[in-house]
Amino acid sequence: KSRHNGTYSTQYLHMSKRAVKVGDYVKQGQVIGYIGMTGNTAGPHVCYRFWKNGEQVDPLRQKFPNSEPMKKDKVPAYNKYIEPLKTQLDSIEYPHKNILF
């Protein structure tokens, strides 16, 4: 588990290799591990788990404090930065791309 503060922890499972070890401090954007294909799986993935006060919870149902929105003058640089990443993600071929579960 990665402890973020006294309240929140996250867990990343099924990685092929970890890039950090117990006790390391991690900065935002730092690589913590590499996607793997362990377990009974159809493709590479990471199992993400979210913990609040020691209890696993659905991160999409949590109410988090508001943060400052991105400054408008930063948006063009941000969009320029993420565009090649979006293109790269969109080009990934995987066998079950058109199957809805």
User: What DSSP letter does each residue of 41-98 carry, written as one string?
Assistant: -SS-B-EEEEEETTEEE-GGG------PPPPGGGHHHHHHHHHHHHHHHHT---TTTT
Catalytic position from the list 4, 14, 45, 96: 45
Q: Is 14 a catalytic residue?
A: no
Confidence of residue 96 (pLDDT cuts 50, 70, 90): low
* Mean of pLDDT values over 48-53: 95
User: Can you give the residue ranges of every domain in the chain?
Assistant: 2-66
Q: Does domain 2-66 have CATH number 2.70.70.10?
A: yes
* pLDDT of 101 over the 60 cut: no
Q: pTM for the complete prediction? A: 0.58
